[in-house]
Amino acid sequence: MLNIALFGPPGAGKGTQSKKLLEKYNLTYISTGDMLRSEIASKSELGMKAKGVIERGGLVSDDLVVQMIEKNITSSSEKQGILFDGFPRTVVQSYILDGLLLKLDTQLDMMISLNVPEDQLIERLLLRAKDSGRSDDTMEVIKVRLQEYHNKTEPVADYYRERGKYYEINGVGSIDDIFEQIVEVIESHRNNVLTNIVLLGKPGSGKGTQGQLIAKAHNLVYISTGKMLRKEIANHSELGKQVEPFMERGEIVQDEIPIRLIEKRIGNHPNSKGFIFKGFPRTMIQSYILDGLLMKEHMNVSAVIEMEIDTITALKRLNARAVTNRARTYDKSVDLIINRLEQYKVKTKPVIDYYRKQSKYYAIDATGTKQEVFERLNTLVAQIIKENY
């Protein structure tokens, strides 16, 4: 999804540019003024509540506004994103919007501000008032509206600027020239959309083999916490000594350790197109950890793919690996293999349910030759990347 907030003072041209953006990108249009008028006209429950507030001379609460926004977003599932016009207007509403979008499993990608000198804003608003015949758009009223914008709405820019999501363009010029600037900002951002895929599956499902092949095929960075931990053990580092007993038993190590390793790996690849996470998260707590790690870097989980095999196939594959140079210490004990399979069932299945509820869960048949599984997985990943872009 592409989620944009169009920002700027009254008269900056947000409404005009919104129409062109909606047509080009197939977005859901969220204008609080339009929504209020529509809800009141339809005499909906929300509309009647808002009408009562307005008739009493009050301001419609953020709670009512957010309910209307959520209603409009959830009823427009066929759209490719959201365009917010005139919202958020305050810093408080910025926090509210972030929370609402998080609830809807998405986030605001960017705020684009139309910068227009105040004398030109006043000129535009007076001309608009003359053309529309609105007697309330006097010079006095216009100046009050602009002052309200400076006092309450301009700080919103700082909120998104601090989060690296604020872009300012020149709002003076022809409609088409301004639109081209907006599109340039959007496309520049879209080129940086990252794809983050989690590969899950029973031990022996081929996550490591396929994860590395997929990462290479799509120019993604492969992150395997197990591989990184084994490297620490091989180097006899303090961290390696700490985790070696857990690894020998095939158990999950303390959560703070993979956090440090994953953060370091992500930090070493600032220009990556995305990441393949092999076998992490394995627990619900680790799911929250990964979401937090990615959110910190303005990313999120794009998809979780479970590589499905039955238990007998898993046992056969792990037994076969046990006699190769790729063997793990826990491959050589049937009891440890069974323990790992049991851990997957108990601790990782809830992770799958967590991402399934977010509509991010996919599954493939991981039986067959390495090439057969790769072709299935590669087709699915290509589809996910296309949808994510």
Burial class (CB in 10 A: 0-12, 13-18, 19+), 3: buried
Lay out the sheet containing 110-115: strands in order across.
28-31, 81-85, 2-7, 110-115, 166-170
Identity of the residue numbered 290: L
Residue 83 banded pLDDT, cuts 50, 70, 90 = very high
Residue keyed to tokens 């038993």: 249
Structure-model confidence comparison of residues 53 and 203, the more confident one: 203
pLDDT tens-digit map of 13-64: 898 999 999 999 889 999 887 888 888 888 888 888 888 766 665 567 888 8
Mark 24-45 as b/e (b = at least 16 C-beta within 10 Å). ebebbbbbbeebbeebbeeeee
Identical fold between 2-27+79-190 and 195-388: yes
Q: Which two tokens stand for residue 285?
A: 């707590």
pTM: 0.55
Query: Percent of the chain scored above 90 by pLDDT?
Result: 39
Confidence at residue 137, expressed as pLDDT on a 0 to 100 scale: 63
- Least confident interval from 130-144, 279-293, 373-387: 130-144
- Name the class of domain 195-388: alpha beta
The CB-based long-range contact list for 37-46 (8 Å cut-off, 24+ gap) reads 39/68, 46/71
Which among 368, 80, 362 is positioned nearest to 197, based on CA atoms? 362
Confidence at residue 389, expressed as pLDDT on a 0 to 100 scale: 61
CB atoms within 10 A of CB 204: 23
Structure-model confidence comparison of residues 147 and 301, the more confident one: 301
Q: Kindly report the three-state secondary structure assignment for every residue of 82-109.
A: EEEECCCCCHHHHHHHHHHHHHCCCCCC
Judged by DSSP in three states, 15 sits in helix
Cα angle, residue 82 at apex, residues 79 and 84 outer, rounded to 5° = 150
Residue keyed to tokens 């009493």: 56
Judged by DSSP in three states, 310 sits in coil
Q: How far is CA 177 from CA 66, 72, 183, 269, in A?
A: 33, 30, 10, 36
Question: How many whole angstroms separate alpha carbon 313 and alpha carbon 205?
Answer: 8
Question: How many whole angstroms separate alpha carbon 382 and alpha carbon 220?
Answer: 12
Mark 275-309 as b/e (b = at least 16 C-beta within 10 Å). bbbbbbbbbeebbebbbeebeeeebbbbbbbbbeb
**In this structure, CATH architecture of domain 2-27+79-190:** 3-Layer(aba) Sandwich (3.40)
Domain boundaries, given as residue ranges, for the chain: 2-27+79-190, 195-388
Question: How many whole angstroms separate alpha carbon 44 and alpha carbon 41?
Answer: 8
- Asked, as a colleague might, if the bond just before 270 is cis with ω within 30 of 0, I would say no
